[in-house]
Amino acid sequence: MLFNSFAFLLCFLTISIVAYYLIPFRIGKNAVLLAVSIIFYCWTDYKLILIILIEALFAFLMAVIIYNTEKTIKTIAYIFSLVTVIGALIYYKYAGFFLQIINSGLSVNIAGLPLGISFYTFNIISYLTDVYKNETKADMNPFNVILYLLFFPFVLSGPLQRYKFMREQFVNRKYNLLDIANGLRRFIIGLGKKVLIANNLAIISDYVFRDLPMDEYSAAICWLGAISYSLQLFFDFAGYSDMAIGLANIFGFKSAENFNYPYIASSITDFWRRWHISLSTWFRDYIYIPMGGNRVGKLRWLFNLFVVWALTGLWHGAAYNYIIWGLYYCLILIVEKLFLLKILKKAYVIRNIYSIVLIVVGWVIFNCTSAEQVFVFIKTMFSGLPIITIEFLDGLSFLYLLPYLLAAVVLSTPLFKFVYDKLNNNVITGIVVDAVLVLILITCVIFLINSSYTPFLYFQY
């Protein structure tokens, strides 16, 4: 079920909120959350719930074993559990890709990719690792582990959560009416980002990346497509994260932030501190630092970075372009850490231009479907000045979407948040904020209805 579906907005969400707050006790509320999370997960394909439930119970048991054993057995149990959950991830998500690499001629017949498998697998790994390192206790209540993995706001697209942080809230969370209202407000903002901005920018980027023949590329159209895709991706994912965090707030949960205006980054290092923060910190804490981080020899450090970024690329999808995209960032980060960061520190404005250009190029690699397209696209982007003439604009079938693009550029800076916080903290201006949010919600509904309008293509008669 998608957050931006009518089934979710009109039925699931409202029923969940009412049921949750009608139940008086925390245990009862957790039971409601578990029940609605199971329904939410089953909505797409009920059979897939079995896989996540089995993995949750497995994680619960292995955590208990790891927690209650010592040294060798503890380590064996830990390694066994990691191999098992990573094996499941590889089987479901990457088997086809790996078989294609080794050109085995074999094919796999996998029933379906369990929803959010990349996210809940990483959550399981973090839980088991934290237990192994005695940073948290093994939970003796399996329902807490299941709820941790299945909690519907986070299950599909994160943000990734640490078990310790979530468990604390399962057993001890406070409800504040202001937090609930702000959660709702944040949900609507996220919905607006997704439905009004990301979905519209997707029309531009799909046209440029998918429909436009490569021999019709020009610098202007390629930049327009690349920038649209960069903003689409940000508003799609950040919008979803806003909705997820807002929903969690509605049910009394808190979450760490997942995005912090990544497109104002002053370097690529800075960008990765601002983009998909929960994933970056996960890789830092569970891969990079355990491998020695940067406190090792230069070659080993380079190897550590290579592994982290190859895995980051692979995590995003089972395809070559994602791996190349990961390694592209690996290369830039190495150069930055070796000497460029020092230079960038003093290069105000230029450093932002440098960052955004490299980020946009990175998204081109991410989104192209072939090496040839990547090459031609990037070559065209830098083949001349992207001059936008009136004739160029007149010929655009998506001219009506340009205001969304401009809005996206403005909204990707902290300006909106600054104004929103100022207005929201005052009761009088806060009412204006609420009125605007209701308007955004209505506009989202109109956009969703519009997508169902399919006039008969009657012209060959």
Partner 1 sequence: MEMLKKINKVLQYIRGLIFILLFVVGLSYLAIYIYKYKPVEEVSLIENRNLETFIDIEDTSFFDNSFQDKLEDAFKDQFIYRYEAVKLKKKTDQNIASFLRGAGNQAVQLNPVADSGLYQVGTTNYIILGLIEENEDYKERYLQKAEDINKLQEDYPDINIYVYYPTQVHETAFFDDEEKGIKSYGPMYYQLFSEALKVKHGRLELSSIEDYERYFYQQDHHWNYAGSYQGYLDIMNLIFDGQEEVLKPNEIVTSNDELLWQGTMGSRTGYILDKEPFYYYTFDLKDYKVYENDIDEVPVYNMNNVDEYLSANKSGYYYDILGDNNHYNEHFVTSYPEKESLLIIGDSYASAIEPLLCQHFSDIYFVQPINYRWRINGGKYFDIDKFVAEHDIDNILFMYTAENYFYEDTYDSFNLHREGK
Interacting residues toward partner 1 by CB under 8 A: 1, 5-7, 9-11, 13-14, 17-18, 42-46, 177-178, 180-182, 184-185, 203, 391, 393-400, 402-403, 426-427, 430-431, 434, 437-438, 445-461
Over its C-alpha atoms, the chain yields an Rg (Å, rounded) of 23
- Residue 357 CA to residue 386 CA, distance in Å, equals 13
Closer to partner 1 at the Cβ: 48 or 368? 48
Residue type for position 74: K
- Minimum CB separation of residue 435 from partner 1 in Å reads 10
For residue 115, what are the contacts with CB-CB under 8 A and spacing of at least 6?
A: 41, 44, 45, 48, 155, 156
Q: Report d(CA 379, CA 377) in Å as an integer.
A: 5
Contacts of 345 (CB under 8 A, 6+ apart): 351
Token pair listed for 333: 């980060």
> How far apart are the C-alpha atoms of 201 and 398, rounded to whole Å?
10
- Name the DSSP letter for residue 254: -
99, two tokens = 């078989």
The catalytic residue among 173, 274, 284, 316 is 316
Q: Is the CB of 374 or the CB of 437 nearer to partner 1? A: 437
Nearest approach, Cβ of 50 to partner 1 (angstroms)? 13
Could you tell me if 1 and 443 are in contact, meaning their C-beta atoms sit under 8 angstroms apart?
A: no
What six digits make up the tokens of 289?
């630092």
Output 213 or 297, the one with its CB closest to partner 1. 213
CB of 156 to partner 1, least distance (A): 15
Specify the residue, 256 or 438, whose C-beta has the smaller distance to partner 1.
438
Q: How far is the CB of 341 from partner 1 (least distance, A)?
A: 41
For residue 24, the minimal CB distance to partner 1 (Å) is 18
Q: How far apart are CA 295 and CA 293, in angstroms?
A: 6
Six token digits for residue 431:
């009412």
Take residue 199 and report the two structure tokens written for it.
Answer: 């979905």
In terms of CB distance, is 101 or 431 closer to partner 1? 431
Comparing CB distances to partner 1, the nearer of 91 and 175 is 175
Q: Which CB atom, from 9 or from 222, has the smaller least distance to partner 1?
A: 9
Peptide bond into 159 cis (omega under 30): yes
The number of CA neighbours under 13 Å toward the Cβ of 435 is 7
Location of structure tokens 């920038």: 227
Closest separation in Å from C-beta 346 to partner 1: 40
For 44, which DSSP code? T
CB 132 within 8 A of CB 59: no
Per the annotation, the verdict on 316 as an active-site residue is: yes
Give dist(CA 168, CA 223) in Å, integer. Answer: 46
Nearest-approach distance from CB 212 to partner 1, in angstroms: 13
| AA letter at 69 | T
Closest CA to 255 of 146, 157, 359: 157
Annotated active-site positions, please? 316
